[in-house]
Structure 1
Amino acid sequence: MPVEDITAAAAGSWTLGDHRVHRMGFGSMRTTPDPDTRRAVRVLRRAVDLGVDHVDTAAFYVSPGGTLNVGSGPARYATELIRAALAPYPEHLVIATKVGFAYTPATGLREDASPAGLRAQVEENLRRLGRDHLDLVNLRIVRRPGRDTVAESFGALADLRDAGLIRHLGLSNVRQEHLDEAQAIAPVVAVQNAYAIDNRGDEDALLRECGRRGIAYVPFFAIAGSRRESGAGVVHAAAVEAVARAHGVTPHQVRLAWTLQQGPHVLAIPGTGDTAHLVENIAAGAVRLSAAELAPLG
């Protein structure tokens, strides 16, 4: 089958909250750096055309500028790009967003987990997306050594859920004790942490625990790995290169295939601002690695 004909359905599906979504989704972070936001709109529309029904974003994904007028001026936020590209939204589309940081031109990103700050970010997401509720809100925290707590922040989001502004809640950049604490307050449908072949840390145990609890585990930086915000690299481990050659795919596709094969509850959200890369990423959902191929990958 031509790679352009492979859809997100090839990756299988998972029930995220009350929606069945394809396990291959789309992350919107990398749509914002390009000052020509028309390209981002094309990528987002192409993603949905290819069956993506889970789009990840955040209140703090912001562009240095923009050329697409969305009603109130040039688009600067990923949430504005999503609205420009996809509204009116398909009924099956789940938009997951993150709150917990605030953006100001003077300070850039900073943590702001106060209840008032979280409510302001939820309302900002609603306004920029043009929605009356948010499908899924992940509380993004700064993970600190030792004991810390998400109780106040997660409780504030649970109150907003009870008020009808949010349908489902998740967590981002957390440890298992944060998950335990949050689940005692309200249901958690997703955990979104950094996880990749070469950037696993101690995440394997949390990934498995999420599976036992029926919670989606959503890795970010699955392609970038330890490069994180710097993006996908061109140098890969020999084992990744060997598997890529055997399947006739790219090393980046092997990394995504490996990610999806870590469990049926694992959802991929690779991001890109390029339609050709988007097609390759989605096609990775059709790559199946054997046990012998998975073993050297770790």
Structure 2
Amino acid sequence: MDDRVAGALSLPDDWPAHPDLSLALNRMGSFDWDLDTGLMHMDRAALDVFDLTADEYDDRPASLAPRVPTDEAQRLDGMVSHALKSGRTDYGAYFRILRRDGTLRWTHTQGFVRRDGTGRPRRIIGIVRDATQELADSTARRELDEERRRRTSLVEGTTAALAHARTVKDVIAVLKNSQGLAHLGATSLVMGLLESGRIHLVADGPEGSYVPGTRYTRVDEQYPMSEVVRTLTPRFIESADDFAASYPILWPDISHLGITSAAYMPLIAQARPIGALGLL
């Protein structure tokens, strides 16, 4: 949940399945997402936040596509997927929606994951609200815009550096070159290729950073490369604490490297995953 949101909400376990009248004030709406059926009920106030009418939404999250830009949708999907798989009980994020008149508006969502006795996620209940006024503060806007620029720059830099690579050896040569890594703002890398349902680690650096037992890992294991191969979504790790909490199996073996952040990206060919690249 975003720490900048004052007075964060805490929703009880017995919150009604269809809370149509629960959060009508302050342009705040509620949603109830049934993960078994995939249907997500949104009250009228939530539809107002997304600038949708009742007949434009059929309880399917895909119906929000006209209002959520693709890059924002991918970021939100990755965040929700990470929350569900990591065992977290909540998440929160700012994102932009595309209004009916073509203008963009800042919005905020908070979701609370409800799990059954086995730990399986069954529902997500939460709120969406217009965040325009709170982000009118220039400092908050600058922080969000700077983070967006940093991530865009990283992806663009990686693409440019690999533009002329034609083989796995070419990719490794480009990225293991110290100047290539510096250009991307990274000090080390890992690269794995998907082979028979496992990820084969084909490159890692600098020397001394290899983690024993990770030459071959399964796609369903709790490793960052496995996650991006499963989700086909980049994973940006913001801090050492984020890394340690998200990947407790891996972190003890790499904490000595002094990693402060990381970016893991799926390698995709013909719409299918072929591996993953990590820059740390």
- Relative to its length, the structure with more strand (as a share) is 2
Q: TM-score, normalised by structure 1?
A: 0.27
- RCO (CA 8 Å, sep 6+): is it higher in 1 or 2? 1
User: Larger Cα Rg: Structure 1 or Structure 2?
Assistant: 2
Which has the larger share of helix?
A: 1
